[in-house]
Amino acid sequence: MEGLEEARERLKAAQRVAVLTGAGISKPSGIPTFRDAEGLWRDFNPLDYATPEAYARDPQGVWAWYAWRIAKVLEARPNPAHLALVRLEEEVLSRGGAFLLVTQNVDGLHARAGSRNLVELHGNILRARCEACGHRFLLPDPFTPPPFCPLCGHRARPDVVWFGELLPEGAWEKSEKAFAEADVALVVGTSAEVEPAASLGRIAFAGGGYLIEINPEPTPLTPLAHLSLRMGAVEGLALFPPPAEDQAEGHFP
């Protein structure tokens, strides 16, 4: 495959690696994407469930929808693509490099897989945030929606970023810096259409980083990518195995 060996060598030598993931990396775990033919927005209008206005109109209805999604997330398990990024992080850090994984996903699977240097750009569906005091807390399993704050007793909302809302404080600045300084940037399983996350690949390219895209369909980022793999996240990341000595010693599952 043209360009693959160079991409492998670049990744093997990189001291600064930044990764962006989208819904496509969690699809093999059974979590639906949003925009493809079988995505959530085929059957649900985002304006009814994923905006502050929708929550203000019908908080119970929004919470019922999120409770349904949370149940699916709790049934899911990290897949080989999540685990491949854990291995990549360990490899980069072991040679004294810097690594940051930025995800648009709210399912928490990267953290469950073992990723450490992680920015959940759009929040986490397994957490709630108090509407009054702002306290964030993990939802119990099971829970009855809507949840209430354990500190002040006020109703809490999902701790996710809805359309029209700001990203978590500091999340964008940390992400932008990592991609601007990256020797290699990977963009995996995202349509590259939702801003500001969609601009991270362009930021890496503008900073001189080597850009690798893994996505079944072309995206707005494809013309800039040094290597664009038309495949799913599991298949694509499997093309970047850990060093042979690590595999031989059984360091990674």
Which residues have a catalytic role annotated? Answer: 122
Please name the residues in contact with 248: beta carbons below 8 A apart, sequence gap of 6 or more.
none
Residue 247 CA to residue 97 CA, distance in Å, equals: 20
| Contact of 215 with 190, CB cutoff 8 Å | yes
Tokens 């850990």, located at residue: 242
Residue ranges of E strands in the chain: 16-21, 98-103, 118-120, 123-130, 136-138, 156-160, 184-188, 210-214, 227-229
| Contact of 223 with 57, CB cutoff 8 Å | no
| Contact of 143 with 152, CB cutoff 8 Å | no
